[in-house]
């Protein structure tokens, strides 16, 4: 027997649970929209050369209930060869999150950094599978540093005097297929 008591409510791990402690839960993850276009098929598969890629990523967040938020991660990728579309893939993957007892200044960062960070691997697989199923090499999105984007947008907000509108956008171009 031990004479050392263990904190209750958390299996002996760290400090006891508190009703006021910040809480972050993933309630659901889901595909909201997926579109793949191959406008030049079957000619697109003849004399194929490495197309120029334009990839845009958008993150948006909105409240859906008390302490519940939906965060959407949207990706649009367009492959072009000689100014003609080879393929276009667009997808929106989202998650419903419960975020409790979080100060507003931290809530914004959680919604625009941590939530998309959790959603990104699933979106990456969806985009890869869609391009592969379209008979193209899988488009593997490069990892995205959501924190750097968030900080850059915060700095831009401070310079322009605009406030948090619940969304952040970044554009990435020139990624090879």
The tokens of 78 are what?
């367009």
Contact 130, 141 (CB under 8 A): no
Name the least confident of 2-16, 127-141, 157-171: 2-16
- The residues with which 85 forms a beta bridge, in sequence order, are 80
Q: Which sign, positive or negative, has the C-alpha torsion 143, 144, 145, 146?
A: negative
Tokens encoding 71 = 């965060």
Q: Given this model, what pLDDT does residue 167 score?
A: 44
> pLDDT band at 174, cuts 50/70/90?
very low
Say yes or no to pLDDT of 169 above 50. Answer: no
Q: Give the architecture (CATH level 2) of 23-142.
A: Roll (3.10)
Contact of 87 with 36, CB cutoff 8 Å: yes
Count CA within 13 A, CB hemisphere, residue 149. Answer: 20
* Mean pLDDT for the chain overall: 84
- What mean pLDDT do residues 148-162 have? 85
Mean pLDDT of 79-87: 89
Paired sense of beta strands 23-37 and 167-173, if any: unpaired
| Residues 6+ positions from 148 with CB-CB distance below 8 Å | none
Return phi, psi of residue 103, to 5°: -60, 145
pLDDT at 20 over 70: yes
| Alpha-helix residue ranges (DSSP H) falling in 9-114 | 104-109
User: What pLDDT shows up at residue 48?
Assistant: 66
CB 111 within 8 A of CB 61: yes
Model confidence band, residue 120 (pLDDT cutoffs 50, 70, 90): very high
- Residue listed under structure tokens 């490495």: 50
SS3 55: strand
Q: Where are the domains of the chain?
A: 23-142
DSSP conformation class of 58: E
pLDDT of residue 168 exceeding 70, the answer is no
User: CA angle, 166 as apex, 113 and 153 as ends, to 5°?
Assistant: 60
Interval 21-56: pLDDT, tens: 899 999 999 999 999 999 988 887 777 678 899 999
């Amino acid at each position: 027997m031990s004479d050392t008591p263990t904190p209750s409510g958390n299996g002996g791990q760290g400090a006891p649970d508190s009703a006021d402690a910040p809480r972050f839960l993933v309630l659901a993850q889901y595909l909201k929209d997926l579109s793949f276009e191959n406008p030049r098929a079957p000619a697109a598969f003849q004399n194929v050369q490495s197309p120029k890629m334009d990839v845009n990523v958008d993150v948006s967040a909105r409240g859906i209930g008390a302490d519940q938020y939906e965060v959407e991660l949207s990706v649009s990728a367009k492959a072009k060869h000689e100014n003609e579309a080879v393929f276009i893939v667009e997808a929106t993957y989202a998650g419903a999150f419960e975020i409790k007892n979080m100060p507003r200044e931290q809530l914004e960062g959680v919604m625009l950094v941590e939530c998309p960070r959790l959603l990104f691997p699933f979106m990456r697989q969806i985009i890869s599978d869609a391009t592969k199923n379209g008979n193209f090499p899988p488009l593997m999105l490069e990892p995205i540093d959501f924190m750097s984007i968030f900080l850059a947008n915060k700095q831009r907000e401070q310079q322009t005097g605009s406030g948090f509108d619940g969304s952040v956008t970044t554009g990435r171009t020139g990624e090879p297929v």
